[in-house]
Structure 1
Amino acid sequence: MSDPQYDIVAIGNAIVDVLAQTDDAFIAEEGMAKGTMQLLFSTEEAEALYAKMGVGREVSGGSAANTVAGVAALGGKAGFIGQVADDQLGAVFAHDIRAQGVAFDTVARTEAEPTTARCLIFVTPDGQRTMNTYLGASQFLPAAALDAELIQAGAILYLEGYLWDPAEPRAAMRKAIELARGAGRKVAFTLSDTFCISRHRDDFVKLLEDGDVDILFANEAEIMSLNETEDFEAAVAATAPKVPLLVVTRSEKGALAIAGGERVEVAAEPIDKVVDTTGAGDLFAAGFLTGQAQGRSVRDSLTLGAMCAAEIISHYGARPEVDLKALAAKRFG
């Protein structure tokens, strides 16, 4: 087995985020569940909601794309596979992720429809984000678009649960797991959201039971949803034996990891004010995975994840605005 050329290679939705401030009343009026993500199923529906937004800010996003951007910001070497359309937002996404230092060579779809994915994010005064996602072209990632050499060159393949919903990219991710496994690489998977779990619980459990996942990321709500229980500790206890490394984030309560039966917990990093929680889990994963790729301990990897999450929630948007590499060097030397 050759040495990996990349720390992390991720597959996920290629999305451009549009963020705007709003209040709880608007969230309620639009029938949104605050702090969650819901899907929009047409360009028309996305444009109608976009028209109701206040002044917005456009930034390239997508869960796994945010993670690899964070890996690159930490000094790691990362690649990304995701589908955009040959349109303006597709060009914006490609430019932004490459400018972050991430390898991205997925060929854009040339069909007129659907357009590049976008996520309309409404941020309330408490920093909570309510997301409305039009998956557009991102849900048409075929297995044929996979860069096998890139996947086999990554130490860890990171897969986004959000992308499990459409059939075509689901098949592509199954193929990617085979490629990574065949090259002796590790596979990390994030559950992404409770709605993903409710639709694909059996698939996710089977991935764990078949030994296809080496590192599983979840938050409190997701780990309980996976196990259909409201008992957090019972959910953790039920999941940990099924995966070599379980990582669970708990917002202001910090995060924990269980590897080989050993449990490690870290506190959340202190922050003056929570501005926007968009991307907190994505950047936590970036810090943790970078720590693992660099050979750090589970505790230090958790700490690095918590540091990255704290930075991202201190401002709008899901891409870091400070030098994460310098931040890590200051803490760890």
Structure 2
Amino acid sequence: MESAGENVPQENHTLVEFILLSFSELPDLQGFLFSVFLIIYVIILMGNGLIILITKVDSSLQTPMYFLLGNFSSLEICYVSVTVPRLLTDLCRENRNISILACAIQMYFFLVFGATECSILTAMAYDRYVAICNPLLYSLIMNNRLCIQMASVCWISGFPMYIGFTYQIFSLPFCGSNQLNHFFCDVLPVIMLACGDTFMIEMLIYVVAVVLVTIPFMLILGSYVKIISTILKLPSATGRAKAFSTCSCHLMVVALFFGSGIITYMRPKSTHSTGIDKFLSLFYTIVTPLFNPIIYCLRNKDVMVALKKFLLKWVRF
């Protein structure tokens, strides 16, 4: 096998594009899948757009919690827009070629926005921790300056971090088939097309996953252990119910996003299969962003009240 790899060094460097197979194994369902993903994409844009709008215009939502929620919704729009428009385009055409550069750019922004989502969900957990465990100091700790700083760090920190990581992946030699059996340039499918020794880059993926996914998840988990412990000590049943209500939306979103991400990137290589990986990728790239505005609108009374007020104003207008 090694000698075969050594015979194709020129091919490795002349490879300038991949072919995204997307869902080509379902030729009769291309139109149906296009319609489904288009509807989901529009719902994600509209749902998150509404949340951004009402958190900006409604005075009752001018709090750190909803400031972070507005940032989170903005991020969700960016996150899905990295993959879904390309997926919709590929479902409508035969030529699904993507240049190595375009593939690298898509992967880079997908990783950046994914890391930013981990950070913002962690910041939202900290906000809930301070609100419930230190309510008397909440307005002092979660001031406007800290909120802006937290949001800025969440948005900016991922950009320089993934330049080297993406460069390392696309510095690998690619040989044999250039057919990428996925609907976007995700890390694991791209590495599967590489030849030679990929052990170091696979170890790097695990390190990055631990640092940027597992550690934020553990911080969130630790925050909620203290939050739940504090809530259970509240003397009033109404107070406990209200406290749980403010946290339940965030917990559901955390479980959806981190659960699918950890299963995808942290499970052993021997358990990977193209079908399962593609399904899991659909879950955390499209399904989770679809549920987020639904969860926050239907399970959050403040958002529902603000949304009704906003819609009534437009109807009267």
Larger Rg: 2
More strand by share: 1
TM-score (norm 2): 0.25
More helix by share: 2
Instruction: Tell me: higher relative CO, structure 1 or 2? Use CA pairs within 8 A at least 6 residues apart.
Output: 2
TM-score (norm 1): 0.25
